[in-house]
A and B are shown apart, each in its own frame.
Chain A
Amino acid sequence: MSIETMEMDTVEKIAAIPIEQIDVSRPSLFQKDTIGLFFDRLRKEEPVHYCRESKVGPYWSVTRFDDIMAVDTNHKVFSSEAKLGGIAIQDMHSAEGALELEMFIAMDPPKHDQQRKAVTSAVAPSNLQLLEPTIRERACHILDDLPVGEDIDWVDKVSIELTTMTLATLFDFPWEERRKLTRWSDITTAAPETGIVESYEARREELIECAMYFKGLWEQRINQEPKNDLISMMAHSPATRDMPFLEFLGNLLLLIVGGNDTTRNSISGGVLALNQNPDEYRKLNDDPSLITSMVPEIIRWQTPLTHMRRTALQDWEIGGKQIRKGDKVVMWYLSGNRDDTVIDRADQFIIDRKNPRHHLSFGYGIHRCMGNRLAELQLRIIWEEIHKRFAKVEVTGEPERLFSNLVRGITKLPVRLHAR
């Protein structure tokens, strides 16, 4: 349900909640897609907001663009360290039987810097260009196989398939077994309560299987001439080739997770946004060169990760509010991306915006998304090829959304394809 079609009483009810009782961590608000109304209130009435009680404990919400930028670029005060709780509103926790993977996204300098530097060249734009022809060719195959004029689920048939295909290409992963990558990505971030894994023990077993599989690929690549895929690059690069195995695995999984449901949901979210804004769809059909600015606009509009979290290492003031040492501080990118004091007509999807990359979806500062240019490359290829084949990807039913306060996901999107 979108805000436009929402019943009036819901809108009025949200407007009547006392501000101190607002808890934007409830996953149901994201699933029902009413969360925007809550963020609108917080940005206007209390842009840095303290929630005293919630299922994830007490936390601060930072909701305006500039305040989010100030927190994100101040890593000396606002820590990402896993041991302090990590990077999501739900604390990272050590559970019995869990396999602890070290990832630099949940580290502070100096360790963060060393590890990030080691793998950063793997997704550098100059390397990605070498992979572009293969990504495009495989995208073409997937799109050519789709039935025209029939009802299909865009998420399953296209978004997941295209994202998995790209990951398999990046790692030169055995093609027939590529859905393993999707599975390993899903379980890396899963806790038993999500239903994705049965227990931490079961997750551990699957991750060990994943580790052994990648160990095999690593050994195969290290004995071959260097190639363009990420595993070969890491096996041959002086910065990464002597990395302890668990560290290698953690970094590898970070690359997979980072490129999995984020891109998947941007592919789905773009189709939905164009259908909700027929004038924009017309603009695209009239001038496909707008794909260049549409891609970052889709990433802003979808905001595939709703937030990142930090922990205050000392007392600090944000937007006039006193944050205490040890407090949990949540930067709501989804809210900052709708802040119309910084983004012109922020509540509208406009594919030919000026400065479309001025958004928060990738974060800012030293933890800024390392794959941001890859994400854009993928979406650009996909939209160029969709445009060549289909006059319209028509949404024919209500989308279903993910029950999550972190991943802004679309789980089902019924569509019908119209040939060009």
Chain B
Amino acid sequence: MVKVTFVSSNGTRREVEVAEGETAREAALFNGVPGIDGDCGGVCACATCHVHIDPAWIDIVGRLMEGAAEAELLQFAEGANQYSRLACQIPIVTTLEGLVLHVPAQQY
């Protein structure tokens, strides 16, 4: 299991455990972390599992690739910035032990 911490917009921290191979979206949904909707079912089609990667982790997780479907969707999301990713596109691997993700106030 890999530990991931979600920080809500009001600063509440929730540490959850997720199995390797699941995604960060599932880490949130399976553990009842509020603020991640994931309407489309995790196939990069709706942008309602928007997270901001903690700056300390962004280069390990990786940034948005220009022109990819994920970037195309996120360009319309509220509050998107250089740390934005879709949680459904972040597979959890052991090198992400301790990952910190910030959840925006609302999904759009």
Interface residues of A (CB under 8 A from B): 69, 72-73, 109, 113, 116-117, 120-121, 124-126, 355, 357-358, 364-366, 368, 370, 373
Contact B39 A72 (CB under 8 A): no
Contact A69 B72 (CB under 8 A): no
Most buried by B among A73, A113, A116, A355: A73
Task: Say which one of B16-24, B51-59, B73-81, B85-93 lies at the interface with A.
Answer: B73-81
Contact B105 A365 (CB under 8 A): no
Which of A124, A358, A366, A370 is B40 in contact with, Cβ under 8 Å?
A358
Contact A124 B78 (CB under 8 A): yes
CA–CA, A365 and B74, complex, Å: 10
CA–CA, A373 and B47, complex, Å: 13
| A117 touching B75 in the complex, CB below 8 Å, given contacts A69-B45, A364-B45, A365-B45 | yes
Contact A109 B72 (CB under 8 A): yes
Look across to chain B and name the residue whose beta carbon is closest to the beta carbon of A127. Answer: B78
Name A's interface SS: helix
Q: A358-B39, A373-B106 are in contact. List 20 more A-B contacts (CB 8 A).
A: A69-B45, A73-B44, A73-B45, A109-B72, A116-B76, A117-B75, A117-B76, A124-B108, A125-B105, A125-B106, A125-B107, A357-B39, A358-B41, A364-B45, A364-B46, A365-B69, A366-B72, A368-B45, A368-B46, A368-B47
Interface size band for B: 20 to 34
B60 interface hit (Cβ, 8 Å): no
Residues from chain B with Cβ under 8 Å of A121 in the complex: 78
Closest 10 CB pairs of A and B: A364-B45, A125-B106, A124-B78, A357-B39, A73-B45, A120-B76, A125-B108, A358-B41, A364-B40, A366-B72
Residues from chain B with Cβ under 8 Å of A365 in the complex: 45, 69, 73
Contact A73 B105 (CB under 8 A): no
| A370 touching B76 in the complex, CB below 8 Å, given contacts A124-B108, A358-B39 | yes
Residues from chain A with Cβ under 8 Å of B107 in the complex: 125
Name B's interface SS: loop
Contact A357 B43 (CB under 8 A): no
B37 interface hit (Cβ, 8 Å): yes
CB proximity of B37 to chain A, nearest CB, Å: 6
Residues from chain B with Cβ under 8 Å of A366 in the complex: 72-73, 76
CA–CA, A121 and B45, complex, Å: 19
CB proximity of A48 to chain B, nearest CB, Å: 19
CB proximity of B105 to chain A, nearest CB, Å: 7
CA–CA, A355 and B29, complex, Å: 10
CA–CA, A320 and B41, complex, Å: 23
CB proximity of A108 to chain B, nearest CB, Å: 12
Contact B39 A373 (CB under 8 A): no
CA–CA, A373 and B78, complex, Å: 12
Contact A73 B75 (CB under 8 A): no
25 CB < 8 A contacts A-B:
A69-B40, A69-B43, A69-B45, A73-B43, A73-B44, A73-B69, A109-B72, A116-B76, A117-B76, A120-B76, A121-B78, A124-B78, A124-B108, A125-B78, A125-B108, A126-B106, A355-B41, A357-B39, A358-B39, A358-B40, A358-B41, A364-B40, A365-B69, A366-B73, A373-B106
Look across to chain B and name the residue whose beta carbon is closest to the beta carbon of A357. Answer: B39
CB proximity of A71 to chain B, nearest CB, Å: 11
Residues from chain B with Cβ under 8 Å of A125 in the complex: 78, 105-108
CB proximity of A357 to chain B, nearest CB, Å: 4
Contact B76 A126 (CB under 8 A): no
CA–CA, A358 and B45, complex, Å: 11
Look across to chain A and name the residue whose beta carbon is closest to the beta carbon of B41. Answer: A358
Residues from chain B with Cβ under 8 Å of A364 in the complex: 40, 45-46
Residues from chain A with Cβ under 8 Å of B45 in the complex: 69, 72-73, 364-365, 368
CA–CA, A12 and B20, complex, Å: 51
Most buried by B among A117, A370, A373: A373
Look across to chain A and name the residue whose beta carbon is closest to the beta carbon of B42. Answer: A358
CB proximity of B10 to chain A, nearest CB, Å: 14
